[in-house]
Chains A and B, each alone.
Chain A
Amino acid sequence: MSLPIRTRLTVWFTALVFLGTGAVAAFLYIGFGNSVAAFMTEHLHHEAVRIERLMKGASSAKELQKTLELVVGPQQHGYDFYCRILDREGNPLLQSPAEMRLTFAIPETVRNGSATVAFTTVPGPAGTGALRVYTTSLQPALCGALADDAFLQIAQPTEMMVERLRTLRRWGALGLAFVVTFFAIAGYFLIRKALQPVAAISAHASAIGASDLARRLPRRDTHDELDELAAVLNEMFERLETAFVRNRRFAAAAAHQLRTPLTGLRGHLEMINREPDVRGRLDDVLVDVDRMVTLCRRMLLWTKVSEGAGPSARTDWTAVDVRELCHDLAVGARTTARRSGVRLAFEADDDPILVTGSATLLGEAVHNLIDNAIRHTPRGGTVRVRARRSESGVDIVVEDDGPGIPPHAEARIFRHFERAHGKTDGGFGLGLPIARGIVRSHGGDLFLERPSSGGAAFRIHLPT
């Protein structure tokens, strides 16, 4: 899951609040339901005792019926209340006038005498809720006039109880929703506030990578977890910077040290190549040596302009006409382009476009882009070089209609010795990192763009 931590934490927190509050509410609800049911049972029991007491005074079935009519009925209770006397088979001997054509079986425990009373719940008449039924065997003295042994059943709809519980549920749900919403919102803001230092750390850390490795994260000196994190990250940056500097120094020293033996090698090959009997036979070897020389030069250049190398010297900065520079480089690259069967087009405004910088370095950057584009454009393709004034400076775009940069290679192409298309393209894998380093040292940046025509487009932006 890629949701931000604050969202995830809020979701978890809310879920926990929901579970906790829900559990408490459920306990309360169940307890309340139980006590309502107990109250009802007790009520039925009291009624039964009262009816039995009244029945004692009746001598005939008729009187008994009257008694029943007296105790039962809506006027007595304000709600339906059923009462009847059944024989052993469950046939009613007497019943209250309230319409009750329902047969409730006599619970087995009461019928066989193992229990004197039983409570059951049965479905009520159609359209009403369930009925709570109280069944008890009548003492022979009470039922002598009717049958040998008889049973008294009284029933009361549970609707009242159900209605109360429903109301309780409704309010409970509302309360729960309110509490959960409140905690969700409050929790989100609390978590966001707690995570704010993390956002600050990440903003500072990303700035360090892009510009200057010597920068450090600000400490708040609160000595909490996040402050400790900043301290640990700072230590890591320290080690990183040391490693980076050592790396760069090593590359510079290696390239530098290679120059003297290469000079000797090149010079001697050149001398041998002049001898009448070898004349020209070492030309190819010299081309290879010159390739090594170029690599050396580029490695040194990379160590000077790569990320984190610090501000570059501005001793040779002058006003450079970017339009002319691009034009000349495009003109010069036509020979190479023609050899690869690639067309090279140059478009620019007519007026000079001046920026302040090093002509040599900017030339190197633009050349690297053009060279790159030609190498990655198939025969018959076109490379376009454009130099334009933009709102905040100058844009130099080198666009090709080659295969483009595969998305997975986008991050790699600016790293040294990495290439988008394997090892077969004849480059060193230093051109783009150097170009970007140069442009950044001039206060600009190099962007990779995807033109609608396909292919790849690199855009140098320079401030004026």
Chain B
Amino acid sequence: MRVLVVEDDARIRRFVVQGLEEEGATTQTAETGREFAALASDGSFDAVILDLGLPDADGVDVLEALRRDGCRTPVLVLTARDSIEDRVRGLDAGADDYLVKPFAFVELSARLRALHRRNREHDDRDHLSVADLVLDVRTRRVTRGEKRIELSPREFSLLEYLMRHAGEVVTRAMIAENVWDQSVEHFSNVIDVYMGYLRKKVDRPFDGPRLICTVRGVGYTIPDNDAA
């Protein structure tokens, strides 16, 4: 994975680059809006990490201009601004995800991988399946093997989110934002509790392999069909 890191603060840039390279990504860095525009326009990156507070320009404006020029590279925005207006403005300008400083690196890396994957396949699937677990988004039916599984609406949304990201690690923050529409601070435990409910219904009654796995210190994952 080739990642462009646009960040003017050298210390942050250094650990982001170090972390990504340890995980096997190749990185290139930019410190200004101009550099970013020049590098991103050739479209050779799999993802961009963009800090909004750049010395020469507002990251949102540069991003908007790039999107107008047809650049489709997924962009994860990093910012110290976390007001709802800022978030909305960033996403409207064409950002694919939003991470507020300070963040944990594992969070950044998990989101980046999810972004990268999402970019490859536009996800409008109605049928999600992992091993013998099948989830029908339209009829809201979940079955494992021949057996029907009854889920509450929240459990269903949670399983759907996990299955859409099968093969990826999703962090609690990602789950909180996407399933609960909440920030993770107060919902981290809630997610664990619901994950417990889900395991009780999806994994425990069946002989097959356990599908919902905990990734210690990061979040949860469901293996994709290749692995399962």
- A interface, CB within 8 angstroms of B: 256, 259-260, 262-268, 270-271, 274, 289, 293-294, 296-297, 300, 304, 313, 315-316, 318, 324, 328-329, 331-336, 358-360, 363-364, 367
Contact yes or no, A264 B9, CB < 8 A? yes
Interface residues of B in 29-70 (CB under 8 A from A): none
Does residue B207 face the partner (Cβ distance < 8 Å to A)? no
Does residue B25 face the partner (Cβ distance < 8 Å to A)? no
User: Assuming A267-B19, A313-B85, A360-B181, is B189 touching A260 (CB within 8 A)?
Assistant: no
- Sort A-B residue pairs by CB-CB distance and give the 6 closest, nearest first: A332-B190, A267-B15, A332-B189, A367-B186, A264-B11, A263-B102
Chain A residue numbers with a CB within 8 Å of B193 are: 331-332, 334-335
- B interface, CB within 8 angstroms of A: 9, 11-12, 14-16, 18-19, 22, 80-85, 88, 101-106, 154, 180-183, 185-194
The contact of B105 among A270, A324, A332, A360, by CB within 8 Å, is A270
Among B81, B88, B189, the most chain A Cβ lie within 10 Å of the Cβ of B189
User: Assuming A259-B101, A334-B193, A367-B186, is B80 touching A264 (CB within 8 A)?
Assistant: no
Chain A nearest Cβ from B31, distance in angstroms: 14
User: Assuming A271-B15, A329-B190, is B102 touching A300 (CB within 8 A)?
Assistant: no
User: Assuming A266-B104, A336-B189, is B12 touching A260 (CB within 8 A)?
Assistant: yes
The contact of B15 among A268, A293, A296, A336, by CB within 8 Å, is A268
Contact yes or no, A300 B22, CB < 8 A? no
The contact of B180 among A300, A328, A334, by CB within 8 Å, is A328
Assembly CA distance A327 to B32 (angstroms)? 46
Assembly CA distance A268 to B83 (angstroms)? 26
Give the interface SS of chain A, mostly helix, strand, loop or mixed: helix
User: Assuming A266-B102, A267-B15, is B80 touching A259 (CB within 8 A)?
Assistant: yes
The contact of B83 among A304, A329, A332, A336, by CB within 8 Å, is A304
Chain A residue numbers with a CB within 8 Å of B186 are: 329, 332, 363-364, 367
Contact yes or no, A315 B15, CB < 8 A? no
The contact of A271 among B19, B85, B102, B183, by CB within 8 Å, is B19
Chain B residue numbers with a CB within 8 Å of A296 are: 102
Chain B nearest Cβ from A280, distance in angstroms: 10
Chain B nearest Cβ from A270, distance in angstroms: 5
Chain A residue nearest to B80 (CB atoms) is A259
Assembly CA distance A293 to B105 (angstroms)? 14
Chain B residue numbers with a CB within 8 Å of A336 are: 189
Contact yes or no, B101 A262, CB < 8 A? yes
Contact yes or no, B180 A267, CB < 8 A? no
Could you write out 10 A-B pairs with CB less than 8 Å apart? Answer: A260-B9, A260-B80, A262-B102, A263-B80, A268-B11, A297-B185, A328-B180, A334-B189, A358-B84, A363-B187
Contact yes or no, A315 B85, CB < 8 A? yes
